[in-house]
Amino acid sequence: MSETVGMAESASMIRMAFVGKGGAGKSTIAGTFARLLARRGRPVLALDSDPMPGLPYSLGVEVDDHPIPDDVVVAGPEGGPRWVLRPGLDASAMVDRYAVVGPDGVCYLQFGNLWGHVARLQQAQHAWSQVVAELDRDRWHLVGDLPGGTRQAMFGWARYADTVCVVVEPTVKSMHTARRLLTLAQAKWGPSNLMLVVNKARGGSDATVVSERLGVQPVAVVPCDADAVRADRRGAAPLDAAPDGSLARAVDALVDRVVSLYSLGSLGEEVAQ
Amino acid sequence: MNDEATTVVADLEAGIGTLTRLDAAAVDATVVVVEPTLRSIDVARRAVAVADEQRQGRVVVVANKVSDGQDRARIEEAFGNRALVVVPEDPAIDVADRLGVSPVDHEPSAPAVAALEGLVDALGLTS
């Protein structure tokens, strides 16, 4: 049993995506992770491909209902993508223009807001694909938050990530989705690292149950944090509401672990228990 | 499915993606489940707006995991003019989830299960 699954080249800039079943706590952990990483003096771009608001709350960024406008794209070339960024607009300019700077200096970019109909998001989706494919990978540490479930993972929405973190609650439903995501990520995605984080753990047995069922040792176990739960109810970022709480401490340790993996160039190496 | 004696219950994906892709007036009723967190209320408000716009039948809001009056007030403030069913925070549901069994089978008399009787009433499914 290992903490990380997969093999690949080392890298220095962190490119990480959080996935899991809806409600597992992806956005909470991703947002907290992004801020704690930024506090280490690292430029962090938080990429939110969930059209529903979740990550803004955990980052402490105001929810914005103004999606990336359709006119950022023009019809693509014959045989190519349906839409491409309009001439003169590249990934870097998109971040400069549409990303929001939040607490701890985290830059936050959302793919699109889904107030009405899906058709409105098709152009934003093409823009998003191009932006994440062409981002300057030496400029940012990337922390991505995907919607719950397997759909976006299946369709390669987070190929920018070389580390995929599956967030799982110690419930049978959540573990079922996590198992699919672990399999799917390896088969379709091939990230260098595949990590498991157990969230909402009550006691040590929860982590044991999850690791036995999934055959992967969690890289972090995040306990139930009553203060963070209360903060969630009023829409406050857990890091602001409970900066020294058990959630913040566990995610801080996760940041240390990930930073260490990248800086030691041991990305993708198996970490035996 | 034209059999009028058949009730179809569909569990859609989280968010409103599937709801936006349904044909207009595709269902008789839409149940929007919401937790008493601002982010959940935000999504639920969008779901209610889409269901209304697409004429997806009677819209009933189920407030789930309500632990106190503050939780209830938060939901009522957002959806006060809607049919509302309140389901209390209930450890029995947590245990059932961890065991991977239906809450109805695990503890049929659990307060959360009992509260869902109200949903049946709100949907007008009892004769």
The ranges assigned to domains in chain A are: 15-65+99-111+137-263
Percentage of chain A lying above the pLDDT 70 cut: 87
Q: Please indicate if any CB of chain B lies within 8 Å of the CB of A75.
A: no
Position A177 pLDDT exceeds 80: yes
Q: What's the mean per-residue pLDDT of chain B?
A: 91
Euclidean distance between CA atoms A3 and A163, whole angstroms: 12
* pLDDT digit string, tens, across residues B11-34: 998 888 889 889 999 999 999 999
Q: How far apart are CA A14 and CA A138, in angstroms?
A: 10
Q: Write the CB contacts of A181 (distance below 8 Å, at least 6 apart in sequence).
A: A19, A20, A150, A153, A164, A166
pLDDT above 50 for A127: yes
- pTM score of the predicted model: 0.88
pLDDT at B54: 92
Q: How many residues does chain B have?
A: 127
Out of A118, A151, A235, name the one closest to residue B38 (CB).
Answer: A235
Q: What is the mean pLDDT of residues A147-167?
A: 82
pLDDT tens for each residue of B58-103 = 999 999 999 999 999 999 999 988 999 999 999 999 999 999 999 9
Mutate to test the interface with A, among B33, B41, B42 (most CBs of A within 10 A): B42
Q: How far is CA A112 from CA A128, A168, A180, B78, in A?
A: 9, 25, 26, 23
Tell me, what's the ipTM? 0.82
The superfamily CATH assigns to domain A15-65+99-111+137-263 is P-loop containing nucleotide triphosphate hydrolases (3.40.50.300)
Closest CA to A16 of A25, A29, A1, A2: A29
Q: What is the pLDDT of residue A129?
A: 84
Q: Inspect the interface and report whether the beta carbons of A171 and B37 lie closer than 8 Å.
A: no
* Domains parsed from chain B with CATH numbers: 17-122 (3.40.50.300)
pLDDT, tens only, A87-126 = 999 999 999 988 999 999 999 998 765 554 445 667 777 8
Contact A116 B15 (CB under 8 A): no
Q: Do A118 and B15 touch (CB under 8 A)?
A: no
Strands A163-168 and A193-201: parallel
Tens digit of pLDDT for each residue in A203-258?
A: 879 999 999 999 999 999 999 999 998 998 999 999 999 999 999 999 999 999 99
A63 and B42: CB-CB below 8 Å?
Answer: yes
